[in-house]
Structure 1
């Protein structure tokens, strides 16, 4: 793994993720690749410029409380 994580995350409903995963599996695509393509198309169509510099995440102070680990459970 890289020393610095550059990915960000988004949340979707469990049913949305399952539909997306099923679609991508059936079409030989990765979920992240598929979503990146869709998002890039929408942003391009809206005329949103591509940044030349990525903004860094704010650094946590050492004395800050450790981040809480949050997990999500789906019950079917």
Structure 2
């Protein structure tokens, strides 16, 4: 007798749905992580800039540079 739990198109379709669902979840997690990382980098750059130079103008400019300014600040100072 054939084992119906591990063969046939229904089982394959179930695996495909699970794999697709996992891929979608992983993509969502990566997108959220990237968005939060960019926001945190911008905020960090602005805080470092403002506390160092006491200028809103430079804080905005450095916030646009984000992680580039943070890395520059770490290496320079």
What TM-score do the two structures reach when normalised by structure 1? 0.26
Larger Rg belongs to: 2
The structure with the largest helix share of the pair is: 2
